[in-house]
Amino acid sequence: MENITAEAVMSLFVAADTVRQRFDKVCAEYGITHTQYNILRILKSAYPSGYPRCEIMVRMIERAPDTTRLLDRLEQQDLVERVRSAEDKRLSIARITQKGLVLLDEATPRFHAVWDDISCKMSRAESMMLTEICSKLSAGNCKEIRIDM
């Protein structure tokens, strides 16, 4: 690995950690984790019907093997409810509650403020370039990334 590649990857780690800490701080103010916020956001998109656990897992930004425990904690806070499927009694459907919807409505402007602060640091072209680079890294292919500067 070239030194410039190692430096780029390390910079990616540092930037990701910095961004993550900012979002974690907002979540902590509402007594949830960033992963729990993501679950609430996913369930809001399926409101009022909800999703089974496996569908939530597929839609998550970061893989979380402990999705059941995350749902348990959200349920204990009355942010999520789980009901048995009428068609398959073995299947439980998680749905966001009114309290969960209120939490999202209150937290979302705080998230947008973080997004706005981040977006002012990059031009539209840089944002698009970063998206393309991250997509290539996520895809796991070995195509060389060429950027004319």
Identify whether 144 is part of a domain: no
Contact 92, 85 (CB under 8 A): yes
DSSP state of 84: E
For the chain, the domain total comes to 1
Mean pLDDT value of segment 52-79? 89
Q: What is the CATH classification number for the domain harbouring 55?
A: 1.10.10.10
**Per-residue pLDDT reduced to its tens digit, 4-51:** 888 888 998 999 999 999 999 999 999 999 999 999 999 999 999 899
3-state secondary structure of 121: coil
Identify whether 68 is part of a domain: yes
Question: What pLDDT shows up at residue 147?
Answer: 56
Is the pLDDT higher at 127 or at 63?
127
Mean pLDDT value of segment 130-138? 86
Domain that holds residue 11: 3-139
pTM for the complete prediction?
0.80
Q: Which two tokens stand for residue 117?
A: 């602060």
Question: What pLDDT shows up at residue 128?
Answer: 92
Identify whether 148 is part of a domain: no
CA dist 92 and 81 (Å) reads: 10
Identify whether 145 is part of a domain: no
Identify whether 74 is part of a domain: yes
